[in-house]
Structure 1
Amino acid sequence: MRLFNSIGLVAVSLALSGCASLNLNSGTADGTIRADLVQSVTDIPEQWQTAQSTVGDVQVGWIDALNDPVLSGLVKEAQSNNRNLQVAAANVERSWTLARQAGVALRPNVGVSLGGNRQAFLDGPVPDTSQFDWGIQASWEADIWGRIRAGQKAAVASAQSVEADYRFTQYSIAAAVANAYFIAIEASLQTDVARKTLETLSDTDRIVNVQYDEGIAMAQDVALSASDVSSTQASLITARGSYRDAINALQVLIGRYPSGDLETRTSLPDVPQMPPTGLPSELLERRPDIIATERNVAASFYALDQVKVANLPRLTLTANTGALASRFEDIFDPVNILVNIAGSITAPLFDGGLNNAQIAQAKAEQKQAVAAYAQTVLTAFQEVETSLNQTRVLRDREEALRQSAKHANRALDIVRIRYNEGETDLIDVLNIQQRVFTAESNLVSAERARLDEWINLNLALGGSW
């Protein structure tokens, strides 16, 4: 009967860990944290200020909206193989492990032991002796002031912040792959523009050399033509090098060795329609980087709660039971079993101002976290407004460059006719040819810039790929 009573006492001491009434201080309320966050941000408009914005909920799947299976495959590959993303994923796992560790102290610590020894003398009248023992030990700190619970909440908020950062990294990697993919396609198109221009200039150069041999053209014309051919050759070499560099960068993003061997489509995809932008206030609840900084703010509040009560008394309950006997079969005899239950209260008397310094540090870190949140929100608003504005600017710019290329080609057709009829000089033909080359090159860059801005807008809005 004594044995059962002893075990019951141990069980009672362990059950105290579940007594929620001991946690007298639940820490900072979530409403207090939200109030500080709202106060830190300037007035949020009801609508985006740029008239280009579109009403509707922000949608997901912007990679699929480009209707490019090759790009979709590359993004999926990057999500699996990108090394920076793997580092971020491991950091998420580490953060949640730390959060679980922070909550361990809320539960009792129980240990068990079993031992035995034999003492023998080589020569002497003292007889050999044996000793066997077993024991169960339990300890638990009653979280009266909520110190341990505050630490756990801070660790959980930090893990949530890291998880949100990881999600934003996923979005950013998807956008980076798309941008690198478009840069590679643009470099290929620029190579085509330079090659076609070189072919045209080479034909002109042959004609000029024939005319020079016949005494029709001057040495100046030969030199000018040769100069433009060489200049365009240099542009072609640069474009080919840029294409290889773009492919290498894209391969590294998706986790491959930069071999320079990767197939892309031969033209840039059409720019999809502008995505719905949602409301500015909704951005705070959607963009992962904003969520990450908001969780950092919550963690800083809980960390301050923790250090504020660090100097208050701590109540620790301990219980242990066990037995000691000279024979192994006697160690479970109730006569030999001993039970001990104890409680202790400890409190620091003098810490040299350490706790006050820790409180001051936690308050400073809290202010820092709130300011970082406010800056992140403002930057996010700026990115959306800028992207909305640039979407309109780049669309109009592309149309202007398209007209410029059209008129430059028309002017080139006219000047060639005039040159063949002897009404103008070769330098006029070469000058207009350079205008055509520049206009067509700028048009390709503008088409790629519009795609980049479309991606940037989706990323700024917090939309998932």
Structure 2
Amino acid sequence: MNSRNYAYLSLALVTVSGCSTLPALKNGTSDEAISSALSSSVTQVPEKWSSKHTNSENVQIGWVDALEDKTLSKLVREAQQNNQDLQKAAANVERSWALARQAGVPLLPSVGLSGGADRTFFSNKSQQDIASFDWGIQATWEADIWGRIKAGQKAAASNALTSEADFLFAQYSIAAAVADAYFIGLEAKLQAEVARNNLTTLSETDRIVNIQYNEGLAMAQDVALSASDVAATKASLLLAEGARRDAVRALQVLIGRYPDADLELEEALPEVPQLPPVGLPSELLERRPDIIAAGQALKAATYSLDLAKVARLPSFNLTASSGSTSNELRNLFDVDQIISGIAGDIAYLLFDNGFSKAHIDQAKSEYEIALIDYAQTALSAFEEVETNLDQFEVVRKRTEALSESADQANRALDVARKRYREGETDLIDVLTIQQRVFSAESNKVSAEKQRIDEWIDLNLALGGSWKKSPQ
């Protein structure tokens, strides 16, 4: 056997040896296997939510418009157009799909065309200058026998789908963030109104006390107590007005405006809709964008592991070329001058100091991390829904109790004022009850705002879109 034949035999044996270790991954890990991994990673999903007050009908969409606040609806739509984070996420989606298209390019042949001309000049005029012209066309293609290129393409496509789901969840989150900032500002505006009303009442009381003091009917202690409450209420008013401006600035940044704190808000908090339909726990896994993104990330990690396993196997490349060279331009495309050829080659890495194995180990670790991330994302989503379902009812009852507290405090104040005018009680009793009224009214506003927060958080946790689908 000559040396050339021996070399060919050695290469064939190496190739066969490598192929014998090849797992059945020509078409990549099956969708069924990935679905099984996703299902087994999540804690047993119950048939229904634990709350007794739920409606298992399909989750509704369009929660922003359901609040019937025209200002909020306008601001949310403005944020969807102008928010910088959303624009960045949208650009990332475009980038991901561009990478996916790049990953699939090697599946098809690449073709290149070249052409040139040169002229050689001789200083010795007895020799004639020489002109040369050439052209060539070459096509190369790698036969994706083991599915290496296909695995890379599928991983890139899954990464792009992850970016799309992340972008969708970012849209939902921005809508909720705009609503949160808006209602923080509106709550602060209402708190300022409560403080302003309290200040008006206390100022009138303070005026009467000073008149009584000048007439010898009130003590200096009464004057000091009254002045103290007026000053404290002024401080509360300033704090509420400052909080409103801060919230409006944060809101303006979310919607892409300059934060000058100049933005009109509604005059009252909207009525909170009833508890929305919540669907079934199993449906949450297929609806929430962040869970979908985590599932696509796991798919990408799976395909990347497939790629790592077959990357060290032989690669097969075909090259076809055609072209010609001539000293005469008119003969450059003469059929007799054209030379064509086709060649194939096999490349196989014999030794890489353990790099391929380390690459596979890395891919396995990234797969395990993606699997854990998916399970944790799903578990956190279930927790958010269960918590918000529970708190929605708690906050509803708390709001009703605080509303009753405010009503009773106002009744007590009316009685105390009447008794004070008739000389049956001291001023300090009136001022104490007045502060209780102020506290009760403030707590009532906060509870009403918290109830809206819980309703929004529940819709976000359920994965319901903030806008209605176009008809």
TM range, smaller chain: over 0.9
Question: 1:341-388 deviations in whole A, cap 9, x for unaligned?
Answer: 000001001100000000000000000000000000000000000000
Question: Are 1:424 and 2:430 an aligned pair?
Answer: no
Question: Are 1:321 and 2:337 an aligned pair?
Answer: no
2-structure distance, mates of 1:71, 1:425: 47
Give the match for residue 218 of structure 2.
217
Paired residue secondary structure (1:281): helix
Percent identical across equivalent pairs? Answer: 62
Paired residue secondary structure (2:297): helix
Give the match for residue 101 of structure 1.
102
Question: 1:298-349 deviations in whole A, cap 9, x for unaligned?
Answer: 0000000001011111000001000100011101111110001000001001
Give the match for residue 384 of structure 1.
385
Paired residue secondary structure (1:339): strand
Question: Are 1:357 and 2:361 an aligned pair?
Answer: no
Give the match for residue 460 of structure 2.
459
434 and 44 in structure 1: CA distance in 2 versus 1, 3 angstrom threshold: same
Asked if the contact 2:155/2:301 (under 8 Å) is kept, the reply is yes
Alignment of 1:2-401 (within 5 A): 25-401=26-402
Paired residue secondary structure (2:391): helix
User: Displacement, 1:24?
Assistant: 7.7
1-structure distance, mates of 2:454, 2:86: 23
2-structure distance, mates of 1:403, 1:76: 37
2-structure distance, mates of 1:55, 1:286: 14
Paired residue secondary structure (1:322): strand
2-structure distance, mates of 1:304, 1:453: 42
Paired residue secondary structure (2:413): helix
User: Displacement, 1:126?
Assistant: 2.0
AA aligned to 2:254 is L
2-structure distance, mates of 1:311, 1:442: 67
Asked if the contact 2:141/2:317 (under 8 Å) is kept, the reply is yes
Paired residue secondary structure (2:257): coil
Higher mean C-alpha displacement, 318-327 vs 48-57: 48-57
AA aligned to 2:301 is S
73 and 336 in structure 1: CA distance in 2 versus 1, 3 angstrom threshold: same
User: Displacement, 1:124?
Assistant: 3.7
Asked if the contact 2:284/2:463 (under 8 Å) is kept, the reply is yes
Q: Normalising by the residue count of structure 1, what TM-score does the alignment of the two structures yield?
A: 0.94
Give the match for residue 15 of structure 1.
none
Higher mean C-alpha displacement, 301-310 vs 112-121: 112-121
1-structure distance, mates of 2:58, 2:428: 56
AA aligned to 1:74 is L
2-structure distance, mates of 1:36, 1:174: 33
Question: 1:206-254 deviations in whole A, cap 9, x for unaligned?
Answer: 1111111111111111111110000000000001111111111111110
Paired residue secondary structure (2:140): strand
Give the match for residue 410 of structure 1.
411
1-structure distance, mates of 2:125, 2:333: 32
Give the match for residue 16 of structure 2.
none
Question: 1:381-427 deviations in whole A, cap 9, x for unaligned?
Answer: 00000000110000000000000000000000001111111111111
2-structure distance, mates of 1:244, 1:361: 50
Asked if the contact 1:315/1:345 (under 8 Å) is kept, the reply is yes
Uncovered stretches (5+) of structure 1, i.e. residues with no partner:
1-22
2-structure distance, mates of 1:68, 1:259: 23
Asked if the contact 1:201/1:228 (under 8 Å) is kept, the reply is yes
Asked if the contact 2:248/2:262 (under 8 Å) is kept, the reply is yes
Asked if the contact 2:25/2:306 (under 8 Å) is kept, the reply is no
1-structure distance, mates of 2:274, 2:414: 35
Uncovered stretches (5+) of structure 2, i.e. residues with no partner:
1-23, 467-471
Asked if the contact 1:52/1:389 (under 8 Å) is kept, the reply is no
Asked if the contact 1:24/1:144 (under 8 Å) is kept, the reply is no
Asked if the contact 2:143/2:315 (under 8 Å) is kept, the reply is yes
Paired residue secondary structure (2:316): strand
Asked if the contact 1:193/1:437 (under 8 Å) is kept, the reply is yes
User: Displacement, 1:71?
Assistant: 1.2
User: Displacement, 1:118?
Assistant: 1.0
Question: 1:120-151 deviations in whole A, cap 9, x for unaligned?
Answer: 11334221111101110110110000001000
2-structure distance, mates of 1:64, 1:339: 68
User: Displacement, 1:179?
Assistant: 1.3
1-structure distance, mates of 2:434, 2:69: 34
Paired residue secondary structure (2:261): coil
Question: 1:27-73 deviations in whole A, cap 9, x for unaligned?
Answer: 10011011111111111000000112112001111111111221111
2-structure distance, mates of 1:57, 1:83: 32
1-structure distance, mates of 2:313, 2:56: 54
For this pair of structures, how many residues does the alignment match?
443
Question: 1:61-98 deviations in whole A, cap 9, x for unaligned?
Answer: 11111112211111110000000111111111111111
Higher mean C-alpha displacement, 403-412 vs 124-133: 124-133
2-structure distance, mates of 1:72, 1:424: 51
1-structure distance, mates of 2:459, 2:53: 14
Paired residue secondary structure (2:276): coil
AA aligned to 1:291 is I
Asked if the contact 2:100/2:153 (under 8 Å) is kept, the reply is yes
Asked if the contact 1:151/1:303 (under 8 Å) is kept, the reply is yes
Asked if the contact 1:132/1:331 (under 8 Å) is kept, the reply is yes
AA aligned to 1:384 is V
2-structure distance, mates of 1:54, 1:182: 27
2-structure distance, mates of 1:235, 1:70: 27
Paired residue secondary structure (2:137): strand
Asked if the contact 1:48/1:385 (under 8 Å) is kept, the reply is yes
Give the match for residue 17 of structure 1.
none
CA-based RMSD: 1.0
AA aligned to 1:239 is A
